[in-house]
Structure 1
Amino acid sequence: MSSPATAPLAPRTLNRYARGYFAASFGLYLAVFTPAMVALSFKVKHIVSQDEATAALSLILSLGALSALVASPLAGRLSDRTMSRFGRRRPWILGGAVVALGALLLGGLTTSVPLLAFAWCAAQFAVNAAFAATNATLADQIPGVQRGKVTGMVGMTSPLAILGGTLVVNLVAADGLRFALPGLVAVGLAAWFVARLKDSPRTTRPAGRFSLRYFAGSFVFNPRRNPDFGWMWLTRFCAMFGYYGIAAYVPYFLSDTFGLDESGVARTMLYSNIAAAIAMIVSSPIAGALSDRIGKRRPFLAVAGLIMASALALMAFAPSVPFVIVAQGLLGLGVGAYFAVDLALGSQVLPNAADAAKDLGMLNVAAVLPQVLAPAIGTSVLAAGVAMGMGGYTLWFLLGSAACLLVGVTVYRIRALA
């Protein structure tokens, strides 16, 4: 086990930490999901024509995901080396949230696609830098046997943030406020977590200089030397391709397939996210607590992948909007169980406790990379689906379903702490 925390914590101490971690995660997810899932697609349509919107959105999402791809391991490594008197993690958590707020303000106010792309890249970099430090606190402070309970709670933050972001888009018409309000919430909740966090300053200087070679090492790991970590990385990639990679196109799917206008899409997304949030709130804490109790993680991830694959297959052939909402609820059930156990298992197979934030950042790359790959191949997959006569979105959702099915294969290649 890679964490220096080994003795079980008292319930009061564990719950105090979990509440702060929950709050910070919710705020950061809200800041990134509100634009990514709904507001950004509407913002693009307010700048360019309908015909240009899909390509512009794909470009912006790809560039933003690339920014996040760099941020997670790099900020994680820098956090591991930070000598601040405020600790290794706190400056990155609060600083990332503040920078994200500024970037989101810019994105909400601009009327230029290039400037919107720049703002989204900056926001993605900042949020993922904050997440790298936030997630590292789990490995720093919580024993492996208690992490399922914590990650089970935190697994609920993603659907709640998506639901909260959808509510913002439904209740607020101005693009500036749609971007700024989530950023303000993120700063407030990050500050609250930082104020409660016991983050001891680093007392010894890091070994070696931060050279170009050391910088490049932030983005690689040796899967032969650390096979469990490698299989964990691939497992997360498959699951997140099916979830994050596919989800960005749901607003356009609703518009193109069912002829919904912007208010209809926003309303349907709200109902879908309510269904998903309810399902995730049920499945996430149960899966996390049960995985701690029985001491196994792999079965929960495999079943979660199967549920996610089933939901995406239903989306592929959805005949009506209510059917989409039901499928989104089923997807939430699987995603909730997955999130509850994924980080708990991932934090237990880290190659080196001294590089916890960097290695967790590398795991986050597995969640971000699908967000780069999906927009890059999205237009081609949609066109191929049309050419094959099955419909572009049908093929798109089936591709995500296949990726989720692979979770049940890759997760059983992890041998330690199963």
Structure 2
Amino acid sequence: MTTSSKTINNKALLPWQTPNDVQQKKFPVRTAVALAIGVVLWLGPYLALVGVLVPQQVARIDPGSKTQAIALMSTVAMIVSTIANIIEGALSDRTRSKWGRRTPWIVWGSVGTAVVILFWGKCTAIWQVVLSDSVYMIFLNMIVAPLIAVIADRTSPKYRGTISSVYALGSAAGQYGGQAFASLFLPVPYTGFMVMAGLTLLSGPIAGLILHEKSTKDMPVDQITMKNFSQNFAFPTKGAHDFYLALFGKLCIQTASFAISGYQLYILTDYIKLHGGTLQSYVTMISMILMTTAIILCIFAGPISDKIGRRKMPVILAGGLVAIGSLVPMFSTKPWIMLVYAAVVGIGMGMYNSVDQALNIEVLPDAKTAAKDLGLLNMANNGGQVFGPIFSAAIIGMVGYHGIFPLACAMAIIGSILIIFIKDVK
């Protein structure tokens, strides 16, 4: 750790302790680089798969029930992901090894995830797709929960907005670049699965190498008892008012985002009526607009949040932009309308993601269970990826594709309102 060896009152900061503003005099560049590269290499392939390659695979296997199949896959994945987040995040918090707390998890998670992707691409039945996605989630969360916890482990409060922006920058590149990259493999889908497996395989080892965690073999760990079990392996219950407002606010905003992006391919084919080369070009353009706007906001929003000392206001404003952008496609089926949607929502999600992780860290009930609790907050991302398609599938069945857009708008507004009620964070 770059600054963990700084001393205050002649007492060295231990490898598993979080530095305060006095101890960490410089921005933790090494941590930032590891986070950005790590998240690009797991999130890019993930959203390439669930946003483009797997929907295409499902449509090929069972075109008549593709929306229901995606909703089923997402539901099962959320259940598995929730359990995995709690258990793997909690175990990561308690891991004592010469490679630190987080590195062993993200490395082995990368290996397992890559292997599952190769099997996933060979699926020829819906049940196989659902099972592959579920196993994939087990290994993927071995990367996600520990990697996010690195922010809490190694960043003092004064740099959390900026490092949240760095994480969001990597997220934006992975999220939108991954989908644009995946569109290149629509004619050769299994090649796409192999490439995504290879990229994911690099995520943990590269991030771990850059992080260069110090040994936690001497880290004190309380023995698990019935009394402290819930603290270590369950949802927090004490001092968690703001935690749950942040959790459900995040869930609503992410649901709004994924209600549309989770069905992006089907919106373009069945609502906008695009096919062939035009479809591929629009998938690419939308992804690039979302990525570009998000990256621009990532550069500015986090550092500004640090400078003004505010976390809630940028998140609330971002939720409002997502609401407005989500409503735009309801008014036209012209292809250009999706480009307008991408620009507005890209700005909103760029601002949101830039400050979100900083807000999450400041509502944690207990620093000792950071990976577990941040994993639970991150579960809202997975929940959004599940509830978005589920709600969209229901709306499509009732009123058609144009019903998705007011649904997403309403969810974003509800999420913003929940963030307003957070008390102990400015």
Q: TM-score, normalised by structure 1?
A: 0.91
Structure 1 residue 228: Cα displacement: 1.4
1:182 to 196, 199, 208: 196
Conservation of the 8 A alpha-carbon contact between 1:275 and 1:326: no
2:236 counterpart of 1:221: yes
Matched AA of 1:18: A
Rounded Cα–Cα distance in structure 1 between residues aligned with 2:200 and 2:25? 28
Runs of 4+ in structure 1 over 6 Å off: 210-213
Conservation of the 8 A alpha-carbon contact between 1:280 and 1:335: yes
SS at match of 1:406: helix
CA 1:176–1:212: 2 relative to 1, 3 Å: farther
2:421 counterpart of 1:406: no
1:40-65 Cα shifts (integer Å, max 9, x gaps): 111112222x2122222221222223
Alignment correspondent of 1:84: 97
Rounded Cα–Cα distance in structure 2 between residues aligned with 1:112 and 1:247? 24
Rounded Cα–Cα distance in structure 2 between residues aligned with 1:262 and 1:159? 26
Alignment correspondent of 1:311: 325
Rounded Cα–Cα distance in structure 2 between residues aligned with 1:7 and 1:231? 26
Structure 1 residue 205: Cα displacement: 5.0
Alignment correspondent of 1:67: 80
CA 1:153–1:52: 2 relative to 1, 3 Å: same
Conservation of the 8 A alpha-carbon contact between 2:232 and 2:369: no
Matched AA of 2:415: V
Alignment correspondent of 1:47: 61
1:4-35 Cα shifts (integer Å, max 9, x gaps): 32135344x61222111100011110121111
2:294 to 247, 257, 280: 280
Rounded Cα–Cα distance in structure 1 between residues aligned with 2:20 and 2:310? 18
| Percent of residue pairs identical | 23
Matched AA of 2:275: D
Conservation of the 8 A alpha-carbon contact between 1:74 and 1:215: no
Alignment correspondent of 1:334: 348
What does 1:1-40 correspond to in 2, within 5 Å?
A: 4-7=18-21, 9-11=24-26, 14-40=28-54
Rounded Cα–Cα distance in structure 2 between residues aligned with 1:38 and 1:210? 45
Alignment RMSD (CA, Å): 2.2
Rounded Cα–Cα distance in structure 2 between residues aligned with 1:51 and 1:34? 23
Alignment correspondent of 1:389: none
Consecutive unaligned residues of structure 1, counting only runs of 5 or more, are: 387-391
Matched AA of 2:224: R
Structure 1 residue 215: Cα displacement: 7.3
1:204-261 Cα shifts (integer Å, max 9, x gaps): 4532337799379634222x63211121112211111111243211211111112222
2:99 counterpart of 1:99: no
Matched AA of 1:91: P
When structure 1 is superposed on structure 2, of 66-75 and 92-101 the one drifting more is: 66-75
Alignment correspondent of 2:128: 115
1:231 to 245, 248, 251: 245
Alignment correspondent of 1:417: 425
